[in-house]
Copies of this chain bind each other. A is one copy, B any other.
């Protein structure tokens, strides 16, 4: 796992990765985004895409939707919204609050998905890691 850090340099690569992701309404994988970004910057490497996505995620500029075993998906829309994911094919769609009824017994009303489960997860720093990051400053 990496150390939390702020972006230091706004390189061309980083800007393009962020811009292209923000343009999309979908939830692309790193590989998907790599293909898209390469149209504007053919020499960028996949490793750089990964490194920048990680950094942007740590800075709260993008969302990272991790998938079991498979690829992570990224979301350039950081405004409050929810997701629904197909357990079968992996497709991810956005949900707005009005599409959801209750958190304890959630039912997705308008998406057409057959909902089997839900998960509310917070992320941040545990007490130990938070202390360590404070001491590192």
A residues neighboring B (CB under 8 Å): 1, 3-4, 58, 60, 63-70, 72, 80, 82-91, 93, 95, 100, 103-104, 106, 108, 112-130, 132-133
Contacts and interface: CB of A to CB of B under 8 A. Distances in A.
A4 B119 contact: no
Tallying the copies of this chain within the complex gives 2
B123 A115 contact: yes
A65 B126 contact: no
Is chain A's interface secondary structure helix, strand, loop, or mixed overall?
mixed
Given A84-B122, A113-B130, A114-B130, 15 more contacts: A1-B87, A1-B89, A1-B90, A60-B117, A64-B68, A68-B72, A82-B120, A84-B124, A87-B129, A89-B126, A100-B122, A103-B120, A108-B124, A117-B124, A120-B121
A85 B115 contact: no
Contacts of A118: 120-123
A63 B65 CA distance: 17
